[in-house]
Amino acid sequence: MFNFQFPFFQTERINKGIENGFMTSEEYILEQIKEFESSIKRRNMIKGYEYFTGRHDVLLKKRTAIGIGGEPTEIHNVPNNRIVDNQYRKLVIQKVNYLLGKPITLNSSNSKLNKVLKEIFNADFDMTLKAICEDSLNCGLGWLFTGYDSNGNFAFKRINPWELVPIWEDSEHKALSYAIRFYDVVNYENKKRITRRKIEVYDRKGISRFYIDRGKMVHDGKEWFTPYFCTSKQGYGWEKIPLIAFKYNHCEEPLILRVKCLQDGLNILESNFLNSMEEDPRNTILVLKNYDGENLGEFRQNLSTYGAVKVRTIDGAMGGVETLSIQVNAENYKAIIDIFRKAVIENGMGYDAKDDKLSGNPNQLNIKSMYSDIDIDANNMEMEYQSSLMKVIWFVKQHLANTGRGSFGNIETKPIFNRDMLINESEAIDNCIKSLNIISKETAISKHPWVENLEKELKRVEKAKEEKIGEQNLHKPQGNNIQS
């Protein structure tokens, strides 16, 4: 057993149970993992990730018919296409790139701090944050671990949301009391493949590592406990647990819950349409006259399986074969598919890049109208991410203080999201020119669509201005005027 502090809001029953020996801290952790593994929340996380990677429910679809006895019976001799038209993935990528398509800007009043922040929040961090943003959308929240790598460098690591059980200190899920991570690893012992469950417990002091052996938690190696960082003689922990949650919304609700039924309907519609096209001979049903009768169950099953109907006339005299033609109306399918695609976009709060508003030469008002839904959703997401990034910045400032690179705790630092939105460049440039006499040159330049780095652009403008003055002085007449 190891010393472990449980959050203050846990029920008295659990606390007394631990004190009286009914449940050890290890048993409590295993119970938390068991509950999380079987929870609807985790199933939704995995389902969101599966749909993002193209593993939709339609891939399990079977063709069935009402068989003898009125029970559904699977039929195998008919086309059974399973088409995935992954509009959900498109939605996720749209939202990630709209919010994080351009790197985040971190501004403070201290130039030294700004320089250090640019070094730490580099391209690698941008890629990690985009991956976490995908987790936020697919799973409701994503997790970032801040700490030191094997080389002693301050680094960031993404953790799969479905592997981490957060134990919150408050009902609003703002601060962690501790966290439990569980995952499976594959080892080979005596040429046998063995899957072993690993467990990591994060608290304010460090990380405790275990593995499961015969249903019990066992210390994983001699150094099963590691502090978050060490000096030459001693290990230390942070004042806070270095796990930061990046939430899609305050409910931690994944995007898949909004659009799954619509995405499934779209997949089924397209699959059924292709089935109908491939099943062209089945569009013609054979009517066999006076070739034996059949009971109702056999009739329904044979109609679906063989595309034939056996009937008997009153006198039973005339035999023969006739056909019934069934036409597949492609326009009906197309109309319904378009309705479902638009419904996915609207319910998922995305945008349609092929919208009629963008035909010809769209003005900025039409463009903003197209982006209105995704912009509203991004506003909520940005507020959650602002709060999370401030927590990340706190750890960065602690790292800088611990390594003697400066104390910046009292300096306000604000993350700025540079959203990636389509604009009408000609209109934007014209507005910048017209605003020069109203706003500062710096503000006008910052809004120019061709400017990527404001500081560099201001230096270029100043340099060009100095060169122009130099050229004017060079061509200016020299000496005194001579009057005759």
Structure confidence by residue, pLDDT tens digits, 180-190? 999 999 988 88
pLDDT at 474: 66
Residues 53, 92: Cα–Cα separation, whole Å: 11
More confident residue, 458 or 32: 32
Q: Which two tokens stand for residue 46?
A: 């995995």
Residue pLDDT, tens place only, 335-353: 999 999 999 999 999 998 8
Closest C-alpha to 87, from 332, 275, 333, 353:
353
pLDDT top residue among 36 and 288: 36
Edge to edge, the sheet with strand 284-289 lists 308-311, 284-289, 320-325
Quote the percentage of the chain above a pLDDT of 70. Answer: 78
Which residue, 103, 123, 140, is CA-closest to 246? 140
The reported pTM is 0.80
CA atoms within 13 A on the CB side of 163: 17
| Domain finish residue from 182, 215, 247 | 247
Residue 8 lies in a domain: no
Position 427 in a domain: yes
Asked if the structure places residue 300 within a domain, the reply is no
What is the pLDDT at residue 425?
59
Task: Pick the most confident of 259-273, 398-412, 462-476.
Answer: 259-273
Tokens at 414, concatenated: 């604000």
**Residue 160 within any structural domain of the chain:** yes
Mean pLDDT of the chain: 83
Domain that holds residue 438: 423-475
Domain membership flag for residue 192: yes
Whether residue 229 is contained in a domain is answered as: yes
Residue 199 inside a domain? The answer is yes
Contacts of 470 (CB under 8 A, 6+ apart): none
Q: Which residues of 323-348 are buried (b: 16+ CB within 10 A; e: fewer)?
A: eeeeeeeeeebeeebeebbebbbebb
Three-state DSSP state, 285: strand
**pLDDT given for residue 11 in this prediction:** 40
Looking at 225, 247, 269, the residue that finishes a domain is 247
pLDDT given at position 315: 60
Q: Looking at residue 477, what is its pLDDT?
A: 64
Count of domains in the chain?
A: 2
Q: Is residue 337 part of a domain?
A: no
